[in-house]
Amino acid sequence: MKTLSVCFVCLGNICRSPIAEGVMLEHVRRAGLAERIVVDSAGTGDWHVGDAPDARAIAAAARRGYDLTELAARQVTAGDFKRFDLILAMDHKNLADLQRSCPPADAHKLALLMQFASRHQVRVVDDPYFGGVEGFERVMDHCEDACAGVLAELQARLAEA
């Protein structure tokens, strides 16, 4: 059985990408595709490796029914470029950092998460770390929109097989 995988990438892997992972996991579970779509997240930086998601991210996700409490931060590894079918960055800096270390053969896997959004005409998911609760709500809005598009893309790829 064909399986596909997606990894969401931000800077610290404690705010934006764990939210995207939690939202995507729920979309995948509701679509009955938990056995066929692997979901993960990682950070380009190493400051928070091993940490749980930021308490504000856990709270914002919980308000919409997503559980982030089992997640732990990790840094992007060279193996991720081979392992994942889609590697989706939250902002231009994250994408540029990924492009610098990605082998050319895997460069087609890299994109901005918000390219998959349909309701929000923005290119990036802004870093909410130094702001307030409203920044985390905006991350939730953006991730819910874009993850629906990511799911549609992966479903189309599964249907091709």
Residues engaged in binding ligand 4NP (CB under 6 A): 10-16, 47, 127, 129
The CB-of-159 to ligand 4NP minimum distance in angstroms stands at: 32
Nearer to ligand 4NP, 53 or 154 (CB): 53
| Catalytic entry in 40, 91, 97, 127 | 127
91 part of the active site: no
Residues 6+ apart with CB under 8 A from 48: 12, 13, 14, 73
Nearer to ligand 4NP, 4 or 23 (CB): 23
3-state helix, strand, coil in the chain (%, to 5): 45, 15, 40
Angle between helices 55-63 and 133-160 (to 10 degrees): 70
The CB-of-57 to ligand 4NP minimum distance in angstroms stands at: 8
16 part of the active site: yes
CA distance 89 to 98: 8
Residues serving a catalytic function are 10, 16, 127
